[in-house]
A and B are shown apart, each in its own frame.
Chain A
Amino acid sequence: MSSELMSNEIALLAIFLLSVFVGFEVVSKVSTTLHTPLMSGANAIHGVILVGAIVVADHAKTTLEITLAIAAVILATINMVGGFVVTDRMLQMFKGKSKPKKDSGDSK
């Protein structure tokens, strides 16, 4: 293994470990009210596997590879697009009720 490749691996490891800490940190103080939207939002974020699906679909050669890759693109798109839309719908409900209160509080 060349040293260049090795340092790349270490960079990826560093990214992985830092992401673990960030992931732990950002959600550590969330109220139960937001558990469902937060789960749904995180769910949508992993839909970004679409990027990976597009990459493999690009260099798929055999029929089997192409079929599997295209299936991955479809599934990933459903995950990503559907996930963000449903999360937004959930959060709209919250806006409806807490905004008026906030407005009266914020108006100077």
Chain B
Amino acid sequence: MSRNLYDLIGLAAGICFILALKGLSSPKSARRGNLIGALGATVASVIVFFYANEGRALNNQTLILSAIGFGVLVGVPAARKVQMTQMPQLVALFNGVGGGAAALVAIVEYLKLGSDATTAVVIATVFTVIVGCVSFSGSIVTFLKLQELMTTRPVIFPFGRQIIGLTLIGVLLSGGWVIASGGTTPLLINGLLSLIFGILFVLPVGGADVPIVISLLNAFTGLTVAASGYVLQTTLLIIAGTLVGASGTILTKLMAEAMGRSLFGTLFGAFTATAQQSAGSAETRPVKSGSAEDVAILLNYAQRVVIVPGFGLAVAQAQHTVRELADLLSAKGIEVAYGIHPVAGRMPGHMNVLLAEANVPYEQLVEMEEINPTFPQTDVVLVVGANDVVNPAAKTTPGCPIYGMPILDVSLAANVIFLKRSMRPGFAGIENELLYDSKTTLLFGDAKDSLTKVVSSLKSL
């Protein structure tokens, strides 16, 4: 296959990716957009077999095909079987391996070129290795945080600021060393330091900010792909990588805005973070807990009920039960709406996906800006497994990790019911004062069990 034909097909694949991103920006065309992207990627991956070795079978072809087969066997079941609640960490993991792949590609090409590499290529290689490795190790840490295999709170260690700073200097110096003198050892040292920096960079990020970091690392991976495209002189990789890098940057900014966070504050929170006020002392304070019957009675005599779903609902797989409850209340003539915080769940839009899965009518899902003014006219707010998104500390406690995040003003309603598993603070690890308020009733237990009990009590009323 001629270079020209190959480049033209690569260009077509690049256009597929543009159409894919465009499609993904609107609900109607999103699914088609994703399929167009998949088509482009498939065509590009198949066509390279006919071009790379001037039409002959590739060297190591069997090995390559087996590797692809293995990757499919790992990737597809993971993507198919993952619970919707665990999807954010899977995306983080996929992103990390992509960054790792880009770094490896640049390393292999660098080893092959040896002293033939031009300075520009070496610079691009160093860039790819640094950013790819940071993306890889950083994504693994975000995965561990979201999977709750490690603490979701910011990890602050003594001299953290200095250690992170020194590592960054080490990364840059070793990068300069590679550019100045070449050779394999400096590149490997550079890669190793970058891996360490990626870990240190994400550790101090608090749980609530993890989605922003995933999005940022996603943009990083895009840029590494673009840089490795330059190393390999492959137009398609430059187009695809740059598209993801640019759109990922905008997306990160939009997400940070939706959460009321400054991007700078999120990333450099590590450098300014102070030890969190302990939540322990507060747990001995009295709270008002009620039974499922109490909750059912409160709901039965309400005129307007707002349900605030959170990650706890998703964990308990209670989407369907909550819809059953909402249907029952609607049948009694009670007005029901869902108040959806933009970052309810673990990522922006995550809760919409989960509730859509349970066939909750779209018009009942009300966004934060629209539902907030209606809380004073609301009799009962039912908070199901949410905490941080209704925590008044975001308004009242400067310096707490969620300060400045817009919240659902549920405290303006006449009654608030929390369905919670325990008094454990939310994902961001902050105590919620609202739990101790006199108009708050707590119903402890698994969200699904609690909701089922409330539904049956309501039926018998």
| A interface with B by C-beta (< 8 Å) | 8-9, 12, 15-16, 19-24, 26-62, 64-66, 68-98, 101-102
CB of A39 within 8 A of CB of B91, answer yes
CB of A58 within 8 A of CB of B64, answer yes
**Contact of B426 with A by CB under 8 A:** no
A48, A81, A88: the one within 8 Å of B71 (CB): A81
Name B47's closest neighbour in chain A (CB-CB).
A51
CB of A42 within 8 A of CB of B21, answer yes
* A49 proximity list for chain B (CB < 8 A): 98, 101-102, 105, 225, 228, 237, 241
The stretch of B342-350, B373-381, B385-393, B445-453 in contact with A is: B342-350
Given contacts A15-B238, A33-B349, contact A76 B98 (CB under 8 A): yes
* A64 proximity list for chain B (CB < 8 A): 111
**Least distance between B389 CB and chain A CB atoms (Å):** 13
CB of A72 within 8 A of CB of B41, answer no
Interface of A (DSSP majority class): helix
Interface of B (DSSP majority class): helix
CB of B247 within 8 A of CB of A53, answer no
| B interface with A by C-beta (< 8 Å) | 13, 17-18, 20-22, 24-28, 30-31, 33-35, 37-38, 40-41, 44-45, 48-49, 52-53, 58-60, 63-64, 67-68, 70-72, 74-76, 78-80, 82, 84, 87-88, 90-91, 94-95, 97-98, 100-102, 104-105, 107-109, 111-112, 120, 214-215, 218, 221-222, 225-226, 228-230, 232-251, 254-255, 258, 342, 347-350, 352-354, 356-357, 359-362, 367
* A43 proximity list for chain B (CB < 8 A): 91, 94-95, 98, 218, 221, 244
**Least distance between A37 CB and chain B CB atoms (Å):** 6
CB of A88 within 8 A of CB of B34, answer yes
**Least distance between A75 CB and chain B CB atoms (Å):** 4
Q: Cα distance A75–B31 when bound, in Å?
A: 24
CB of B112 within 8 A of CB of A56, answer yes
A30, A35, A81, A101: the one within 8 Å of B76 (CB): A81
CB of A85 within 8 A of CB of B76, answer yes
Q: Cα distance A95–B353 when bound, in Å?
A: 10
CB of B101 within 8 A of CB of A85, answer no
Given contacts A19-B242, A86-B91, contact A55 B104 (CB under 8 A): no
Name A41's closest neighbour in chain B (CB-CB).
B24
Name B363's closest neighbour in chain A (CB-CB).
A101
CB of B31 within 8 A of CB of A95, answer yes
Given contacts A56-B109, A74-B71, contact A93 B20 (CB under 8 A): no
Given contacts A38-B25, A48-B225, A74-B71, contact A30 B254 (CB under 8 A): yes
Q: Cα distance A98–B353 when bound, in Å?
A: 12
CB of A60 within 8 A of CB of B349, answer no
CB of A53 within 8 A of CB of B105, answer yes
